[in-house]
Amino acid sequence: MVLSSDKPLGLIERAVAEHKPRAVFGMFSGGHDSLCSTHIAAQHPAFTAAVHINTGIGVEQTREYVRQTCQAQGWPLIELRTDPQIYVDQVLAHGFPAGRQRHQVMYRLLKERQVQRLLREHKVGRYDRVLLVAGARRQESVVRMSSTQPVQRIKSVVWANPILEWSHADKHDYMARHNLPRNPVVDNLHMSGECLCGCFANMPESGELHAIRFFYPDAAAYISALEQRVFECGKWANWGQFRPDGFEERGEIQPWLPLCQDCPTRWAA
């Protein structure tokens, strides 16, 4: 079933009418799901800007894709930059992260803090709300299917997921009908690549790193240089591989993290 944009746009309209947000942002990671949801959000009169979180550890080509796409579509872009030293300090102190437990820490440091910054910069009154439009899809993951709602408020943040019921085919049909550009990083790596924290890479042989090294050698070289520094600190120095201390907690499913579901779901499967 191919869905028109009417129903998704109507969901955003209802969320705006109910919560009266101070601003409406499309959370654009660089993946194709978030591309579609941001494109839909941009059709609403209350749309403020696309938001991309630059985690400081990712594929630069995805960041450039986001910038170029926003410019071509006429979307204002807010690129929230996490200091790269935050990730470096974490791995030098604790080794490379792996699995659910450390991923919650990485999510908070690399993404959640930037969401809070976005709120601080755009809320005026204490009880103001901000609407964040994301690209969650039920068919994409078990985690999202069980926990994600079309509209969900968490304190002053209202999350809207306008393409929640879309299939993979619906997404690609929408992109084709609206002539939306594909991100080559997604086609090459099967993920947006905006965050390479490594918590849920294709362990244990780190096949994900092999693909990154083939397609994006600069990103792989950065990780390899960091591995050497971590090794010299005597910490776990293998990006994207199982840790002997059991931090990966295999088989566990973590709480809903609205900007990071693809990697933990793929790893758990």
Structural contact between residues 256 and 148, judged by C-beta atoms closer than 8 angstroms: yes
- 149 versus 29: the higher-pLDDT residue is 29
pLDDT score recorded for residue 208: 86
Confidence at residue 5, expressed as pLDDT on a 0 to 100 scale: 44
CB contact set of 187 (below 8 Å; sequence gap of 6+):
none
Q: Give the lowest-confidence range in 43-52, 177-186, 221-230, 239-248.
A: 239-248
Q: E strands along the chain, which residues?
A: 23-27, 47-54, 77-81, 130-133, 151-154, 157-160
Identity of the amino acid at 64: E
User: What is the predicted pLDDT for the residue at 215?
Assistant: 97
User: Which runs of E-coded beta strand occur in 4-121?
Assistant: 23-27, 47-54, 77-81
Confidence of residue 104 (pLDDT cuts 50, 70, 90): confident
User: In the chain, what are the domain boundaries?
Assistant: 6-268
Taking the domain 6-268, which CATH number applies? 3.40.50.620
Res. 269: pLDDT tops 90: no
Residue 261, pLDDT above cutoff 90? no
Question: What 3-state DSSP class applies to 55?
Answer: coil
Give CA–CA dist 134/159, Å, rounded. Answer: 7
Tokens of 120: 């601080």
Torsion of CA 242, 193, 35, 138, to 10 degrees: -10
For 133-143, letters b (16+ CB in 10 Å) and e give bbbbbbebbeb
Backbone angles phi, psi at 175, to 5 degrees: -60, -40
Task: Report whether pLDDT(241) > 90.
Answer: no
Amino acid at 9: L
| pLDDT tens string 225-235 | 999 999 999 99
The whole-number pLDDT of residue 173 equals: 97
What integer is the mean pLDDT of 101-114?
91
**Looking at residue 103, what is its pLDDT?**
86
* Neighbouring C-beta atoms of residue 172, cutoff 10 Å: 16
Sign of CA dihedral 250, 252, 255, 261: positive
Tens digit of each residue's pLDDT (9 = 90 or more) over 162-183: 999 999 999 999 999 999 999 9
Residue 155 to residue 226: CA distance in whole angstroms:
37
Using one digit for the tens of pLDDT, what is the confidence trace for 124-176? 999 999 999 999 888 765 554 456 789 999 999 999 999 999 999 999 999 99
> Is 92 a residue whose pLDDT tops 80?
yes
